[in-house]
Structure 1
Amino acid sequence: MFFQLNDRVFINLNKISRTKIDHVEDGIRVRFYEGKDQIAKSQKFDDVKSAQKWLKKALNIKK
């Protein structure tokens, strides 16, 4: 199953081993990993709660 991260990037969710919401120098981002290698990162968010909400909505995760 593929997930569209933005207008140019599609991620194969079958290969994603983990996601991580991370504080980086330019803001908060969701990072996507295959094994130990980071393969993509999301846009910037103002807080962790916004990043979590975006990730759940993007991946169609229900509460």
Structure 2
Amino acid sequence: MFIKLNDRVYLNMAKITRMKIDHVEDGIRVRFYEGQDQVAKSKRFETTDDASAWIEELLKQVK
């Protein structure tokens, strides 16, 4: 199933094998992986709680 990640990116959630909340130089981002390859990353978040809440909302679209 495809979900809208942002204005330009749709993800095929059937192929996503893991999602990782990662601290990067410009803030906190959620990274999406197919196997070992990163295929997308989210917008920047201020806290990991914000990122977790965003993932939960995103996953509600899959159900």
Give the shorter-chain TM-score range: over 0.9
Counterparts of 1:7 and 1:32 in 2: how far apart (Å)?
A: 17
Aligned to 1:43: 43
* SS of the residue 1:51 aligns to: helix
In the TM superposition, 1:2-21 aligns within 5 A as: 2-21=2-21
Structure 1 gaps, min length 5:
none
CA RMSD of aligned residues (A): 1.1
* SS of the residue 1:15 aligns to: coil
* SS of the residue 2:60 aligns to: coil
Residues 7-56 of structure 1 show CA distances to partners (whole Å, capped at 9, x for unaligned) of 11000000000000000001000000000000000000000000000010
Deviating above 2 A after TM superposition, structure 1's stretches of 4 or more consecutive aligned residues are: none
Structure 2 gaps, min length 5:
none
Aligned to 1:52: 52
Highest RCO, 1 vs 2 (Cα 8 Å, sep ≥ 6): 2
* SS of the residue 1:29 aligns to: strand
TM-score, structure 1 length as denominator? 0.93
Counterparts of 1:36 and 1:58 in 2: how far apart (Å)?
A: 22
TM-score, structure 2 length as denominator? 0.93
Q: What is the total number of aligned residue pairs between the two structures?
A: 61
